[in-house]
A and B are shown apart, each in its own frame.
Chain A
Amino acid sequence: MKILVCLKQVIDVELNVQLRDGRIVEEGLQYAMNAYDESALEAALQLKDKTDCEVVVLSMGPDRVADVLKKALAMGADSAVHLDDPAVTGGDSYATAQAIAAYANGKGFDLVLMGRQAQDTDAAGTGPMVAEILGLPQVTNIVSLEQESDGKFLTRRVGDDGREVVSVDAPAVITVSNDFGEARLPTMKGILGAKKKPLTVVTLADLGLDVSKVGAAGSKTQVVGREKPSGRAAGRKLTGEGPDLAKQLVEYLVNEARVLA
């Protein structure tokens, strides 16, 4: 079995984000593997633990994305591909999906595993778009994955009304929730072994994809501004004895905020 896992390097969302002229200030940012993609990789590696399976990881972006690829190799992926082309930056989900689909197309992957969303875009758009471009079935937001004896994949996904048990034929595109579970840590042996694994750099030209299809040029939506959200102000904060606090809250909700009819 052959699996492609798409890994995005994202800015560390716990750190302070500064804006200048509607752009995110790059200085002082730190980067990490998108948490959802880490779960996608873990899902692939769990299949690899059980069956004969080749796991290829793909990341698009500038030189620094090699860090997430190396981490993935150390965690257990077999080979890594860095789609390194200045044209891919600034793309929306649609443009990103074009590039990922162009890479995945025709390479015989049984599964394309992706994060259900990127922690920075919060878009959750790329997975279903890749599936559509490749003409494959999709299952999104999964929290478990196994292969059945007939080759189908059995997943559990979190839907609006609870967890759903969904089976899907290969090849398929599956997006993974970070509730899939903690990803394994790279071991010392893994880190050393990673150095011998292939990390290939490819360009759009290698994929036969025109620059107009990706990045800002290939995007169907444009970001025209960024600002800090106005946010909510803190209200009152009470301390005291339980019974009195309970009474005060009821009084507030009923008579002041008037939200309990």
Chain B
Amino acid sequence: MKVLVIAETKQGKVKKGTLELLGAANAWGAEASVLLAGAGVAGEVDTLGRHGASKVYVADDASLGMYVTAPFAALAVEAFKASGADLILFADSELGKDLGPRVAAKLGLPFIPGAVSVAPEAGKVVAKRTSIAGKVMETLEAPLPAIVSLKAGTFEPKEVGGSAASESLSLPQSDLRTIVREVLKETSERVDLGDARIVVAGGRSVRGPEGAKLIEDLADVLGAAVGASRAACDSGYFPHACQVGQTGRTVAPDVYIAIGISGAIQHTAGMTGSKVIVAINTDPDAPIFSIADFGIVADLFTVVPLLTEEFKRLKAGNTVAV
């Protein structure tokens, strides 16, 4: 069994989602190769090797600094051919959603998007995924070779201590039909939403910049990423890149703290994979409580600042927890 992982990077570093894909290959005992495309990324071959890649196809060039479909699709095809993979794995990120189906159509291969469990068998892959905003779990089958994208948190990254051989891919011909003019810097220097171990998310009821600040302060003391509901993003309290849910990102942190979020299915579709869910809401009947491990029925404006203080004290070593 041979697996090709399509890597994603941010500021030259491989994202956690990519290491999770290697974790999958590792769990199946498969031989893993990786396509590592970007600008200033070649230094990550070691990291990939340590997480179980035996071969890394590298395309490191300034022209690949921003993701655009055409060159990445061409590189994925080249890496697929060179690796002889049975299965190509993407993260179910915005990049994976843009590139996975394009590459599938290019190669004429089956595409299973957003899988939450995958088992390669002889000659085929069987995967589970949700549809209808998380209301139905489907089991899909496809013959190999196939392409599957995995939701965040489906597999754990694991250091296995190997090392990878690297091979440079030649750069694809440029296709100037699509040009990324700029990436708007809206997200802060906080940890990436997809990589975060803790996510603190705010809803419509933060009501304005002061409320949003309470969410950000709590996130900062926890070293967490900030998430948000669609209503909160639409109201301009948080950038759209923070949105978690069916339209937004899927996250699977250790802790997800939903603050003033009702728990609409379109929101929960993006966070039910979290290990621990905490909800803070004034309405004891809010649907979010039905999936929360720990719920607090309280006004966020009272309880969030207290929580921030509590965590500050904890951090200062002055443990209040008994």
Query: Chain A residues in contact with chain B, CB under 8 A?
Result: 11, 13-14, 17, 19, 24, 36, 92-94, 97, 116-117, 119-129, 131-133, 137-141, 143, 156, 158-169, 172, 177-179, 220-232, 234-240, 242-243, 245-247, 249-255, 257, 259-260
Contacts and interface: CB of A to CB of B under 8 A. Distances in A.
A132 B69 CA distance: 11
B168 interface: no
A119 B111 CA distance: 18
A202 B9 CA distance: 45
B183 A94 contact: no
Interface residues of B, number: 100
Contacts of A166: 178-181
A237 B296 CA distance: 6
B169 interface: no
Contacts of A254: 314, 321
A139 B134 CA distance: 26
B16 to A, nearest CB: 12
B320 interface: yes
A160 B277 CA distance: 23
Nearest to B239: A162
7 contacts: A137-B175, A143-B240, A159-B183, A160-B249, A227-B139, A238-B295, A242-B303
Given A119-B132, A245-B298, 8 more contacts: A13-B135, A129-B101, A164-B183, A166-B178, A179-B243, A224-B139, A228-B135, A229-B135
Interface stretch (B42-50, B153-161, B204-212, B305-313): B305-313
A223 B296 contact: no
Contacts of B277: 232
A19 B134 CA distance: 14
B191 interface: no
A119 B182 CA distance: 30
Interface in B76-122: 93-95, 97-102, 104-106, 108-114
Given A94-B111, A259-B275, A162 B186 contact: yes
Interface of B: 8, 10, 66-67, 69-70, 93-95, 97-102, 104-106, 108-114, 126, 129-143, 146, 175-187, 192, 194, 198, 222, 230, 233-234, 239-241, 243, 246-247, 249, 254-255, 265, 269, 272, 275-278, 284, 289-298, 302-303, 306-307, 309-311, 314, 320-322
Nearest to A12: B132
Contacts of A172: 177-178
A80 to B, nearest CB: 26
B181 A167 contact: yes
Contacts of A221: 110-112, 140-142, 146
A225 B126 CA distance: 11
Given A250-B307, A257-B276, A128 B140 contact: no
Contacts of A251: 321-322
Contacts of A131: 102
A257 B177 CA distance: 51
Contacts of B311: 250
B291 A137 contact: no
Given A137-B70, A163-B240, A168-B177, A250 B101 contact: no
A164 B239 CA distance: 13
Contact of A162 (B187, B265, B322): B187
Q: Max chain B CB contacts within 10 Å: which of A119, A237, A240?
A: A237
Nearest to A245: B296
A223 B180 contact: no
Contact of B113 (A123, A228, A255): A123
A138 B140 contact: no
Contact of B187 (A19, A161, A226, A257): A161
Q: Please name the 9 residue pairs, one residue from A and one from B, whose CB atoms are nearest each other, closest first.
A: A220-B110, A132-B105, A235-B293, A237-B295, A225-B139, A246-B306, A137-B177, A125-B101, A128-B102
B296 A238 contact: yes
Given A119-B133, A121-B131, A246 B101 contact: no
A93 to B, nearest CB: 6
A228 B139 CA distance: 11
B165 to A, nearest CB: 28
A49 to B, nearest CB: 22
B133 A234 contact: no
Given A138-B69, A225-B138, A242-B303, A237 B284 contact: yes
B320 A250 contact: yes
Given A93-B111, A125-B113, A228 B182 contact: no
Nearest to B307: A246
Nearest to A141: B94
B111 A179 contact: no
B269 to A, nearest CB: 8
Contact of A128 (B101, B110, B112, B314): B101
A138 B98 contact: yes
Nearest to B306: A246
Nearest to A22: B139
Contacts of A137: 69-70, 175, 177-178
Contact of B94 (A14, A159, A249, A260): A159
B77 to A, nearest CB: 11
Given A24-B136, A238-B297, A246 B178 contact: no
